[in-house]
Amino acid sequence: MAPAEDDISIEEKRVYAGTAGRTDAYVATESGVVRVALSADKIGAFDMVARDPARDAAVLPRRDAADLLGVATPDGLRIAPVGDDLAFEPVAVDPVGSKSLVAVGVHDDAFLVAGEDGEVDRIEVGDDVADPTAASIGAVSDPRAIDGPLVAAGDGVHRVTGGDGANATRSLTAVGLNDARDVAGVGMPLAATDSGVYWLGNGWMTALEGDASAVAADGDGHAMAVVDGDLFVHESDGGEWDTETWGVTDLPVDEEPVALGYGPGVSVAVTDAGTLCVDAGDGWRHQVVGVRGVAGVALAVVE
């Protein structure tokens, strides 16, 4: 294994955020949520901010208040305003309550969560974090991931349909494929399945063949996917998504990436061994954060 970030001193890690801005990566693991501070491709301090088992994480942007971090746990959804000191609150509202959750995402100014029972709920959080509202929008078989309006499930990919706004009626519509493991719903819709990565053109079109386990996109033509244990990066911004526009990238550690995410100007991949890798355009840097059972990663701008 390559040494972790030997070229960045402890002093640099302490002061970098004040000069280049800071993005926090929240890694959901079986031991809890680990926060890792990033500034471009420099990796700063990391700490455990929640100790309940976490199965997924997502960040809900808000215009007039701090963004909200949502964490899917076996005991329901936990939310906290993004900041230096996170104070998580349970979302104890029907029909979610303390339902065991497997996935969380954001769409149309609200959280979407999927329970072990397959039920998918929309949770809207207003100015008063302690007074959310929730409504069921449908059910899928064996849900695995949520991103934007897309839900990955054992019975394929589903899309949230219905009008915009808080009072609109929403439902889930099956849109094809089988055994979907992950989805990217921002920008070009992408899906990772047992037979490959697909993009939505005239129907689902093959992007990469193989056993795909994860996919992420930033909505601006950049994307990553894990296929047969390798990390592929979408290398074209010309609107094409076929196989020729993807290429394998080598991480600085010999470990399999299991969780992918994007922040402003940065790509993040977290491995099965608990190593966080970040690329801001000049190659990958990495830091071992010492956690196992990685289930997801979400990024939030702090300053």
How is residue 250 written in tokens? Answer: 């080598």
Strand order in the sheet with 101-107: 101-107, 110-115, 119-124, 133-139
pLDDT band at 222 (very low <50, low <70, confident <90, very high): very high
**Helices and strands (H, E) in the chain, number of each type:** 1, 28
Q: Is the dihedral of CA 97, 98, 100, 106 positive or negative?
A: positive
What is the pTM for the complete model shown? 0.91
Residue 4 binned pLDDT confidence (cut-offs 50, 70, 90): very low
At residue 67, φ and ψ (nearest 5 deg) are -60, 155
Is the pLDDT at 171 greater than 50, yes or no? yes
pLDDT average, residue stretch 9-33: 68
**Residue 69 CB partners (closer than 8 Å, separation 6+):** 26, 57, 58, 59, 60, 79, 80, 81, 82, 86, 298, 300
Domains, the chain, ordered by start: 10-301 (2.130.10.10)
Q: What is the pLDDT of residue 7?
A: 35
Q: Where are the alpha helices (DSSP H) in the chain?
A: 10-20
Q: SS3 of 11, please?
A: helix
Split at pLDDT 50, 70, 90, the class of 165 is: low
What letter does residue 93 receive in the DSSP assignment?
-
Report the pLDDT value the prediction gives residue 290, as an integer from 0 to 100.
87
Can you tell me the distance from the alpha carbon of 247 to that of 230, in angstroms, rounded to the nearest whole number? Answer: 10
Asked if pLDDT for residue 8 goes beyond 70, the answer is no
pLDDT at 164: 67
Per-residue pLDDT, 10 = 31
Question: What is the structure's pLDDT at 9?
Answer: 36
Confidence of residue 163 (pLDDT cuts 50, 70, 90): low
Residue among 166, 106, 177 nearest 140 (CA): 177
Q: Is the pLDDT of residue 13 over 50?
A: no
pLDDT band at 129 (very low <50, low <70, confident <90, very high): confident
Tens-place pLDDT, residues 62-102: 988 899 999 999 999 999 999 999 999 999 898 888 899 99
Mean confidence (pLDDT) of the chain:
90
Greater pLDDT, 167 or 227: 227
**Portion of the chain with pLDDT greater than 70, in percent:** 90
pLDDT band with cut points at 50, 70 and 90 for residue 138: very high
pLDDT band at 21 (very low <50, low <70, confident <90, very high): confident
**251-295 pLDDT, tens digit each:** 999 999 999 999 999 999 999 999 999 999 999 999 999 899 999
In the predicted model, what is the mean pLDDT of residues 142-149?
98
